[in-house]
Amino acid sequence: MAIPRQRIALIAHDGCKEQLINWVTEHRDILASHDLIATGTTGDQVEEVLKAPVRKLLSGPKGGDQQIGALIAEEQVDVLIFFWDPMAAQPHDPDVKALLRIGVLYDIAMASNQTTANLLVTGLLTKPELVDKE
């Protein structure tokens, strides 16, 4: 069975950007074969690592989290990888909570840490039907 292209949104708070970029680097071969969307600086960094195009939105605090949420509601995102910092107060915390809520509401695959992201990306390779809702 061919692996269907997934639309993967990538977000990382400032304190987690390095961790996300390391994760992206580790999984570059898998991620480069999918459609990637990212907020602000994260998108620039991911594009640099993958040498592949990334659809870049606004930074999270400037509306990027809301843009990702809108794409989820429009069924244009299949997977959300969001490394958020549980130890730092975020000025846009209501946006973060809204994004997580919309991801649950629309039943998309989501990971908020490296372990779960690893499981998700492995699932994309071996069990694509887990994220195929048709």
Each residue's pLDDT tens digit in the chain (134 positions)? 566 889 999 999 888 999 999 999 999 999 999 999 999 999 999 999 999 999 999 998 899 999 999 999 999 999 999 998 766 666 667 778 899 999 999 999 999 999 999 999 888 766 666 655 55
**pTM (whole model) above 0.95:** no
The set of catalytic residues is 65
Distance CA 24, CA 3 (A): 19
Domains of the chain: 9-127 (3.40.50.1380)
Q: At what angle do helices 40-50 and 17-26 cross, to 10 degrees?
A: 30
Residue 92: the pLDDT is 62
Q: Are 109 and 80 in contact (CB under 8 A)?
A: yes
